Structure 1
Amino acid sequence: MKRYVQTGLDMMKVFVVFTGFTILFYYAIIWINLEYQDYHRYDPPEGSALKVTKMVENEPDQWLNRLIFFYSDGE
């Protein structure tokens, strides 16, 4: 009988530790989410930044050229 009680207490300890770490992990994830919620990754550049892209006018057969490029490039 004593063995069953000891096994039950060990199971309760594992359950309490597991539940505690699960709650700790949950609140850690919430804290990280709140920390990075207002972090803007794509702010406009400041200072002497250069624009490195140029808009291309749409051609009527542009979709065909892009499809051929997609198949030939393999991505």
Structure 2
Amino acid sequence: MKRLVWDSIKVFIIFIACTCLFYFGLRMLSAEYDNYHRYDPPEGPSVKVFNTEQTLIDRLDLFFRLGE
């Protein structure tokens, strides 16, 4: 009986240690990606994709040509 209790305590301690390691690993990854700025303005020779100078006829033509 004493051995069963001792083995259960060892398994419980290993489980708690692995859970803490996993939790703090996820927190470190989260902190790393919180500091990553995905929406910074592009640097270098970037090309403007959106053209706001379209007429209504151009937009309707594109709409019907693409079949949307």
- TM-score with structure 2 length normalisation? 0.69
Do residues 52 (structure 1) and 52 (structure 2) align? no
**Structure 2 partner of 1:27:** 24
Output the CA distance in 2 between the equivalents of 1:28 and 1:47.
35
In structure 2, runs of 5+ residues without a counterpart are 56-62
Instruction: Report how many residues are paired.
Output: 59
The amino acid that maps onto 1:29 is: L
Superposition deviation, residue 54 in structure 1: 2.7
Output the CA distance in 2 between the equivalents of 1:34 and 1:41.
14
Do residues 14 (structure 1) and 11 (structure 2) align? yes
In structure 1, runs of 5+ residues without a counterpart are 58-64, 70-75
Output the CA distance in 2 between the equivalents of 1:25 and 1:51.
43
> % of aligned pairs identical?
40
- TM-score with structure 1 length normalisation? 0.63
After the TM superposition, which parts of structure 1 deviate over 4 Å for at least 4 consecutive aligned residues?
Answer: none
